[in-house]
Copies of this chain bind each other. A is one copy, B any other.
Amino acid sequence: MRIVLDALGSDRAPGVDIEGAVRAARAFGREIVLVGPEEVIRTELARHDAEGLPLSVVHASEAIEMREHPSRAVRAKPDSSIVVGMRLLREGQADAFVSAGNSGGVLAASLASVGRVGRIPGVLRPALSTVFPTLQGVSLLLDIGANTDCKPEWLVQFALMGSIYAQRVLGIARPRVGLLANGEEETKGNAAVQAAHEALRGMTLNFVGNVEAKDLLQGAADVVVSDGFVGNVAIKTAEGVAAMLFTLLRSEIKARPLAALGGLLAKPSFRAVAKRLDYREYGGAPLLGVNGVVIIAHGRSDSLAIANAIKVAIDAADKNLVETIRQDMADAVTVLEGPSGALAGTTSRSTDLGGAPST
């Protein structure tokens, strides 16, 4: 098995990414292909005790920056680490691609005409996901940004794909799947969520209904489905609130001498909470629906986070994630009615994928 890593991905690339690859190669014994400027990578590798580890390098001269427009950057930079890495995946030279870079760029590269991996047949839209900590463990939220105006049938597919991922890679036997909504009642939600709700109730998934945002972190569902706009708002709000709370606590503790002493004594507890919330512990999250294992790591990743993301990629490849989704899509039928694409009903165990182009 070979995992391709975008050496220019993280905010502190290539140092952090390459160190993560070295850690992963040592820990997991699978071959890791580093994609980026060869000379830079070799120099960086020389700083580690990487002798004998299953590491190789494929040259790519360009980098797609975080703030670049994804599809324009992919078109303009055919020799970027993201486009080249994705090509290796498409050509079957690798089993998975991992990047801590521009996630929109990774998505665009997976679908762009040059070096594209494309969608799994039957998948209407790929979805970006994230794994987040809850009071009960972890949950998967998707979509968090790939699709801003979602049709109900896309949401239904996100539910299917998310459930497969949670089962295969997160190891949850019968994942509880919920729809993110503004209330638990099935009458809640916007039009797309209400239609998806109805469709999901008729399926064999372990659908638990609507999940309110306040219950997200209680672990109300293992897989939480939303459109990419709403999912992005939820995850970014969570990040913002956590950051604000820690900022406020720090300043209020520093402002009082006795409290400052108390803060010192309580430091291990603060650390334990921070660790619970640390994205680095959870590795990356998949770009679901593309025809290959693609794992996105956080831009702020350190080498541990990169190594964990590589581990996630290995697990997903080992567990035949893509093949399972392909099979499930072939088994499920989404009946689309009328030109508006309104969802009439969705049932499993059928073969027709009406109106769903595969690429």
Contact = CB atoms under 8 A, between A and B. Distances in A.
Contacts of A237: 213-214, 216, 233-234, 237-238, 241
Contact of A240 (B216, B249, B256, B264): B216
B233 A249 contact: no
Interface of A: 69, 134-135, 145, 148-149, 180-183, 187, 189-191, 193, 212-218, 226-230, 232-245, 247-249, 252-253, 255-256, 258-259, 261-270, 272-273, 276-277
Given A218-B240, A236-B212, A242-B245, A228 B135 contact: no
Contacts of A215: 240
A145 B217 contact: no
Contacts of A247: 135
Given A148-B189, A230-B230, A233-B213, A255 B269 contact: yes
A191 B148 contact: yes
Contact of A262 (B145, B189, B266): B266
A246 to B, nearest CB: 8
Contact of A229 (B145, B148, B182, B241): B182
Contact of A269 (B217, B228, B245, B253): B253
Contacts of A190: 148-149, 227, 229
A240 B216 CA distance: 7
A103 to B, nearest CB: 12
A248 to B, nearest CB: 5
Contacts of A228: 182
Nearest to A272: B252
Nearest to A266: B262
Given A190-B149, A252-B272, A240 B213 contact: yes
B189 A229 contact: yes
Given A213-B237, A241-B238, A269 B259 contact: yes
B268 A265 contact: no
B244 A145 contact: no
5 contacts: A149-B190, A189-B229, A212-B236, A245-B245, A248-B277
Nearest to A255: B269
A152 to B, nearest CB: 13
Contact of A135 (B213, B234, B244, B262): B244
B240 A242 contact: no
Among A149, A236, A264, A276, the one with the most B-chain Cβ atoms within 10 Å of its Cβ is A236
A229 B190 CA distance: 7
A144 to B, nearest CB: 9
Nearest to A228: B182
Given A214-B239, A217-B244, A233 B180 contact: yes
Nearest to A244: B217
A25 B114 CA distance: 71
A217 B240 contact: yes
A233 B149 contact: no
Given A149-B191, A217-B240, A232 B265 contact: no
A240 B211 CA distance: 12
